[in-house]
C-alpha cells in the first residue's frame, strides 16, 4: 500500500458518527475512515462497543491481540457518551449538527428510547445522511426481532439450507461472514446519498438489513423460489449434480473446487488436463446429458486420478489447459499467500501489534490508502471531540463527573 496524505483521500472533510455496535454497521464507517473520513466512534461509557470483547467468544481464534476491534475500528476516534441521559443526548445532537453521516444499528425501540431515531435528529442537520442497519428491516412483523448475521443473513435467507447436503443438517456460519459483506451495501447506500446531496443539498435516510443482504447473496435460489421452483438438498460429492462442479482431494490432502461452467466447450481440455484423453469420446460422458446422468461414475474415475498427485501438479495442469479450478484455501495459508498481498487484499499497517490486516475489498487508482492506524481506546478522544463542538474544559469536566461522558 502506498502512503497518501489523508487530505488527498476522497472522503477527506467528511465527518461520520459511528453510533453503532458489533460489526456490519461499524465496518461501513471503518472503510470511510480508510478513505479519509473523520469517523467518531460514539460508545457507552465503561463497557463501550461490545465488539471490544468479542475475541472472548469460543468461535474466535485466540490471540493476545484484540484483532476484531483493531480491524473493525481502525482509524476512528472514540468518545464515550451515556445516551440514556438527556445531557448525553444533547452532546450527541451537537455532534450531529457538524456531521455529514450518522450510522446506527440500534434497534428501533432503542433509537426511540434514546431519542436518536431519524425523526429525532433530521431537523438538527438537514444535510445529514442518516444510515440505519437492522436485522430484518425497518418495517414488518419482525421489525423488532434482534438479528445477527448467523440468524438473519445466513439462516433466514436460506443460505445455510441451500448449502446443506441431503440427509445432513444445515451448517453453521462462522462469526462476521455476512456482516462485512453487508457493510459494503450500507456503504454503497451512503455514497449514493452523499452524491444525491451534492445535487440537492439535502440529506436523507439510508437503510439496509441483514435479511436483505442475505437474500441478495442467495439471489439465484431466492429468485427461483419467487417463481415457485427450487432444488432439493445437494446430493453427496460422490454423486453430484455435475462432476465438473465438484470437489476432489489431492495426494497431499488438499481439496480442489472444480467450476467448469461451459462444459461442452471445456470438456476436451479437461480430459487432457487430467491425463485421460479417452474420456472425451466415452459415450457415458461425451455429451452433457449423459455426463450429468453418469456423474457418479465420473467421480469414481476422477477420485483416484486426483489422489495420485499433489496440488502443485494439478495447479499447473489447470493453468496449462485453462480450466477454472480453485484450491480450497485454509486460513493458516493466508500469511504466506503472495497473491493476497500482491492484489492488495492483505496490506501492511502502522499498528505494530497487528502489522498485517485486510483492506477494503476495492481500490481506487487515484487514492492509494495510507497504512491503517490502531483502533481507539474507549473515550480516548472525548475531550478533543467535545472541544471541537464548543464544549470547553470546565463543561467537559463537569460532564465527566456526572458520568455523562467517559
Query: Nine-digit cell at 250?
Result: 489431492
**CA distances, 20 to each of 73, 131, 133, 342 (Å):** 11, 10, 9, 33
Give per-residue pLDDT as tens, 211-229: 999 999 999 999 999 999 9
Distances (CA, A) of 213 to 21, 85, 176, 297, 402: 18, 34, 13, 38, 41
DSSP 183: H
Q: Using CA atoms, how far apart are residues 75 and 64, in angstroms rounded to an integer?
A: 20
Give me the numbers of helices (H) and strands (E) for the chain, helices first please.
16, 11
Share above pLDDT 70 across residues of the chain, in percent, rounded to a whole number: 99
Read off the pTM.
0.94
Residue 342 has pLDDT above 80, yes or no: yes
Q: What confidence category does residue 7 fall into, taking pLDDT thresholds of 50, 70 and 90?
A: confident
Round to whole Å and give the CA distance between 321 and 266.
9
Which residue matches cell numbers 482509524?
Answer: 75
Please state at what angle helix 210-217 crosses helix 219-226, rounded to 10 degrees.
Answer: 90
Q: How far apart are CA 15 and CA 1, in angstroms?
A: 24
Say whether pLDDT at 4 is over 90: no
DSSP class of residue 276 equals -
Is the predicted pLDDT of residue 257 greater than 60, yes or no? yes
Taking residues 284-290, report their average pLDDT. 97
CB 42 within 8 A of CB 10: no
For residues 38-60, average pLDDT: 95
- Strands (DSSP E) found in 45-138: 77-80, 101-104, 129-134
pLDDT, averaged across the chain:
96
Sort 18 into a burial class: Cβ within 10 Å, 0-12 / 13-18 / 19+. buried
Over range 299-320, report the average pLDDT. Answer: 98
115: left (phi over 0), alpha (psi -120 to 50) or beta: left
192-213 residue pLDDT tens: 999 999 999 999 999 999 999 9
Which domains, and CATH codes, for the chain?
Answer: 6-219+344-401 (3.40.50.10540), 247-333 (3.30.1540.10)
DSSP symbol at 156: I
Query: Quick count: other Cβ atoms within 10 Å of Cβ 226?
Result: 9
Q: In what order do the strands lie in the sheet with 15-19?
A: 77-80, 38-43, 15-19, 101-104, 129-134, 204-209
If pLDDT is split at 50, 70 and 90, which confidence band does 1 have? very low
**Sign of the alpha-carbon dihedral angle for 114, 118, 123, 125:** positive
Strand partners, 103: 18, 131
Residue 206 buriedness (CB in 10 A; 0-12 / 13-18 / 19+): buried
Amino acid at each position: 500500500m502506498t502512503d497518501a496524505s489523508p487530505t488527498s483521500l476522497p472522503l477527506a472533510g467528511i465527518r461520520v458518527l459511528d453510533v453503532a455496535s458489533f460489526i456490519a454497521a461499524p465496518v461501513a464507517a471503518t472503510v470511510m475512515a480508510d478513505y479519509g473520513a473523520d469517523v467518531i466512534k460514539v460508545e457507552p461509557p465503561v463497557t463501550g462497543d461490545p465488539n471490544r470483547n468479542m475475541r472472548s467468544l469460543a468461535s474466535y481464534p485466540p490471540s493476545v491481540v484484540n484483532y476484531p476491534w483493531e480491524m473493525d475500528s481502525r482509524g476512528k476516534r472514540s468518545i464515550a457518551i451515556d445516551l440514556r441521559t438527556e445531557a448525553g443526548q444533547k452532546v450527541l445532537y451537537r455532534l450531529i449538527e457538524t456531521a455529514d453521516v450518522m450510522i446506527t444499528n440500534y434497534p428501533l425501540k432503542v433509537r426511540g428510547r434514546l431519542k436518536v431515531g431519524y425523526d429525532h435528529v433530521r431537523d438538527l442537520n438537514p444535510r445529514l445522511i442518516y444510515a440505519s442497519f437492522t436485522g430484518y428491516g425497518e418495517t414488518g412483523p419482525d421489525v423488532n426481532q434482534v438479528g445477527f448475521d448467523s440468524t438473519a443473513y445466513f439462516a433466514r435467507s436460506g443460505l445455510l439450507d441451500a448449502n446443506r447436503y441431503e440427509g445432513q443438517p444445515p451448517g453453521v456460519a462462522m462469526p462476521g461472514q455476512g456482516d462485512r459483506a453487508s457493510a459494503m451495501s450500507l456503504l454503497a447506500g451512503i455514497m449514493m446519498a452523499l452524491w444525491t446531496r451534492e445535487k440537492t443539498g439535502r440529506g436523507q435516510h439510508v437503510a439496509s438489513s441483514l435479511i436483505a443482504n442475505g437474500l441478495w447473496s442467495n439471489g439465484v435460489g431466492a429468485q427461483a423460489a419467487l417463481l415457485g421452483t427450487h432444488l432439493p438438498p445437494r446430493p453427496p460429492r460422490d454423486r453430484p449434480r455435475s462432476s465438473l462442479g465438484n470437489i476432489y482431494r489431492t495426494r497431499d490432502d488438499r481439496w480442489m473446487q472444480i467450476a467448469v461452467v461451459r462444459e461442452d466447450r471445456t470438456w476436451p481440455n479437461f480430459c487432457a488436463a487430467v491425463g485421460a484423453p479417452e474420456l472425451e469420446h466415452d459415450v457415458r460422458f461425451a455429451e452433457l446429458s449423459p455426463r450429468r446422468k453418469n456423474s457418479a461414475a465420473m467421480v469414481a474415475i476422477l477420485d483416484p486420478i486426483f489422489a495420485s498427485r499433489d496440488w502443485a501438479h494439478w495447479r499447473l495442469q489447470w493453468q496449462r489447459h485453462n480450466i477454472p479450478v480453485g484450491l480450497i484455501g485454509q486460513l493458516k495459508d493466508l500469511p504466506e499467500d503472495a497473491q493476497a498481498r500482491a492484489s492488495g487484499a492483505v496490506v501492511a499497517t502502522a499498528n505494530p501489534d497487528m502489522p498485517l490486516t485486510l483492506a477494503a475489498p476495492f481500490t481506487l487508482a487515484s487514492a492509494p490508502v495510507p497504512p491503517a492506524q490502531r483502533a481507539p481506546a474507549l473515550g480516548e478522544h472525548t475531550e478533543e471531540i467535545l472541544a471541537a463542538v464548543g464544549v470547553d474544559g470546565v463543561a467537559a469536566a463537569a460532564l465527566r463527573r456526572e458520568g455523562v461522558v467517559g
